Amino acid sequence: MPRTRLRTEIRQDQLVEAALAVMAEQGRGSLSVAAVARRAGLAPSAIYRHFPGKQALLDAVVERMRERMLGAVAAARAAEPDAIAALRRVHERLLHLVRQNRALPRVVLSGDYPVGDRARRERMLDLLTRFLDALAGIVADGQRRGRIRSDVNARSLAVLFLGLFQPAAVLWAMSDGRFDVTRQAREAWPVFEQALRAPGGARAPRRGRPARRLPRPRRSPS
């Protein structure tokens, strides 16, 4: 790869991360070329060498979120042969992504994205559609193996999975962390897992690396 192109890709990556940090702290409405430039330690004019404007930068942020969300599903499928264990791993990974990137629930999961433009609306819809398709693939595999109930459409269960995670993530972001998303995840998952299981389905034996347990919420001192 030519050195100039490599430098450009590195700089674009830095600018996307700076944009994520700005939106994580203040929401999408705070995103501007000047704010990203300050965060990255650059002059605003330097941004335009890599992105034509704020909207292009925002599109790059959504693409980064797409990569991370779909990457979470792919990694879970590779690590866990059991569908229910794979879904739990996706749930844990998404929780980790939210805690690292408050911009994810602010932009991707809350609808805080400029969807008046048809192309941008289609881009966001494509992101969520691909994510749901990937989840439905895990569910369908579990149904074929008799691990997940087959009386509900795989896609519907994938949407239910997103509903398990999305409201808690949005509440956590909008409350600036006051809503305990970790506790919510710990308490909601067993209920969802019980609803997923096929009647009479036994727990599958663990193979390979076990899924990381969700951390217990810290109790505030009395």
Q: DSSP letters along the chain, please?
A: --HHHHHHHHHHHHHHHHHHHHHHHH-GGG--HHHHHHHHT--HHHHTTT-SSHHHHHHHHHHHHHHHHHHHHHHHHHH-SSHHHHHHHHHHHHHHHHHH-THIIIIIIS--S--SSHHHHHHHHHHHHHHHHHHHHHHHHHHHTTSB-SSS-HHHHHHHHHHHHHHHHHHHHHTTT-S-HHHHHHHHHHHHHHHHBPTTPPPPPP-SSPPPPPPPPPPPP-
Say which CATH number the domain at 112 has: 1.10.357.10
Q: Is the pLDDT of residue 119 over 90?
A: no
pLDDT of residue 142: 96
What amino acid occupies position 82?
A: D
Instruction: Evaluate whether residue 46 is within a structural domain.
Output: no
Q: Is residue 201 part of a domain?
A: no
Q: Give the pLDDT mean for 80-91.
A: 95
Q: Give the pLDDT confidence score for residue 96 in this predicted structure.
A: 83
Q: Mean of the pLDDT values across residues 11-36?
A: 81
C-alpha span between 86 and 68 (Å, rounded): 16
User: Which of 24-28, 55-59, 70-74 bottoms out in mean pLDDT, i.e. has the lowest?
Assistant: 24-28
Is the per-residue pLDDT at 110 higher than 80?
A: no
Higher pLDDT, 157 or 215: 157
Domain containing residue 85: 58-196
Any domain includes 48: no
pLDDT at 139: 97
Cα–Cα distances in angstroms (integers) from residue 180 to residues 22, 74, 131, 185, in the given order? 22, 27, 25, 9
Average pLDDT over the chain reads 80
In a domain, 4, yes or no: no
Does 132 map to a domain?
yes
CA-wise closest residue to 196 among 125, 126, 138: 138
Report the distance separating Cα 161 and Cα 145, nearest Å: 19
Any domain includes 40? no
What is the number of structural domains in the chain? 1
Q: What is the pLDDT of residues 127-161, one digit of tens each?
A: 889 999 999 999 999 999 999 999 999 999 999 99
- Residue 152, domain member (yes or no): yes
